[in-house]
Structure 1
């Protein structure tokens, strides 16, 4: 299958998932008409989304999976979702990183995408509690060999979560002693009432420490995170300087966000990075 065909499949599945979540369920014949593809193609897409655990197949269609606030998907399950949106967000967020700065990257698949765009930024100091993010820099440096200006990477240590983040007292103590110019923070959920939240209590505390140690907080989150509430809140929206998201975020959500945040960046839009 070509790269273009893969992209089309990814976009189609994103549209299907949005439709399922918005309407509370869809039928296969409705999707074939809406997307202009065959019945077999839609069923393959539903099978793929069901394997990722983001919807449930039922006779003739699909319904959303209702997740408990304590449910924490693993890294692999999340990494296949909203790939294009995460890549767009990562590119936009990378523009906020200055050479020579000290930054922190939390765990998550969007910060993992961002890390790939930062490996060539000179003289960075990167603090992370993500095993996956640290590996991005490690592999890049091992492949390129020793070079001047390569990033210095500090991995916090701690107990590993299903999303491959390191959390707990060891991570918290390491982070509390540090100070970052910018924190790039991935989230499980974001809402005006609950702020930033996660289903993992230990991760919530580690994220609080990350926020407290940062001069600026940049949340990187695709539109599907809006309105999701995990078990534990760890920051209010007012503690966030910038939200970098994708064009799928509805206008109503943008208006609501504008009441709380100083800056909204919608990747790929002409007014990208406009202050609000």
Structure 2
């Protein structure tokens, strides 16, 4: 049994029973306790289980749990910066781009200083603040209207109507989860609707997601994996996930995180 198949079986049992024990899983799967512990570590890194002494328990409400911007802004800082820097290389001078809400796209906004003559459309208050404060005369920033979410995104019909009449060269979006069947997902259904409007307005879609997002599923899909011209992630992504994504997304771009920064 492959590692992914084994982890899927473990996850299914956790969701069915609510909790599992290492030695029971090892007996059932006919592997060592150490192998099961490694599988539980992998599932915990993906946010799919909570590790406890001797086993693991299910994570409550992962599909709709949406931490606030400040809580997310201190997670995986080195990975987000590496991803944002690689994504900034994809932005061409003199183009119109869309930036979705989220801490990784906010980090990307801070990496765009070297790109001249940009028009940026965003539904993120935080992204807009970063770009407006730069005071660049060669940059136009359009902030959509709507209601604010915990991630400081503006959502709702006003934002969607604004985006439906626009034509952008590229759209850069973060993702709460990346999964083979579910695609790119978010825990907020209204934010997902705005993301879909951004995807529709863009000539190409670039998704920014660190390796911990792999295997996580939010409540609403905003794009299928094969809709992304590129997925920018970090080198913490495991080999099996890399192979699957290489076969699905247009281009998988892996940003190297310096060892001293990764901690």
Task: Tell me the TM-score normalised to structure 2 length.
Answer: 0.76
The match for 1:191 is: 179
- The residue correspondences of 1:1-20 to structure 2 (distance < 5 A) are none
The match for 1:274 is: none
CA pair 59-133 structure 1, distance change in 2 beyond 3 A: same
Pairwise CA distance, 1:22: 2.1
CA distance in 2, matches of 1:24, 1:158: 35
SS at 2:127 equivalent: helix
- The residue correspondences of 1:15-26 to structure 2 (distance < 5 A) are 21-22=41-42, 24=44
The match for 1:253 is: 241
The match for 1:263 is: 251
CA distance in 2, matches of 1:205, 1:130: 14
Which structure ranks higher in relative contact order (CA pairs < 8 Å, sequence separation ≥ 6)?
2
Deviations 1:79-129 (A, max 9, x none): 111000000001000000111110000001000000001134211000000
Aligned pair 1:204/2:192, yes or no? yes
Where does structure 1 lack aligned partners over 5 or more consecutive residues?
A: 1-17, 26-52, 142-146, 270-276
- The residue correspondences of 1:77-226 to structure 2 (distance < 5 A) are 77-141=71-135, 148-149=137-138, 151-226=139-214
Where does structure 2 lack aligned partners over 5 or more consecutive residues?
A: 1-37, 258-263
Asked if the contact 2:83–2:232 (Cα under 8 Å) also holds between the matched residues in 1, the reply is yes
SS at 1:157 equivalent: coil
CA distance in 2, matches of 1:24, 1:168: 33
Question: Of 238, 241, 244, which residue of structure 1 is paired with 2:232?
Answer: 244
CA distance in 2, matches of 1:198, 1:138: 26
User: What's the C-alpha RMSD, in Å, of the aligned pairs?
Assistant: 2.6
SS at 1:215 equivalent: coil
Between Structure 1 and Structure 2, how many residues are aligned? 219
SS at 1:179 equivalent: coil
Asked if the contact 2:44–2:50 (Cα under 8 Å) also holds between the matched residues in 1, the reply is no
Asked if the contact 2:99–2:173 (Cα under 8 Å) also holds between the matched residues in 1, the reply is yes
Pairwise CA distance, 1:138: 1.5
Deviations 1:11-69 (A, max 9, x none): xxxxxxx99742659xxxxxxxxxxxxxxxxxxxxxxxxxxx99979789x98854431
CA distance in 2, matches of 1:23, 1:170: 38
Asked if the contact 1:21–1:64 (Cα under 8 Å) also holds between the matched residues in 2, the reply is no
Asked if the contact 1:24–1:64 (Cα under 8 Å) also holds between the matched residues in 2, the reply is no
Question: Of 43, 65, 75, which residue of structure 2 is paired with 1:71?
Answer: 65
Task: Tell me the TM-score normalised to structure 1 length.
Answer: 0.73
CA distance in 2, matches of 1:163, 1:129: 11
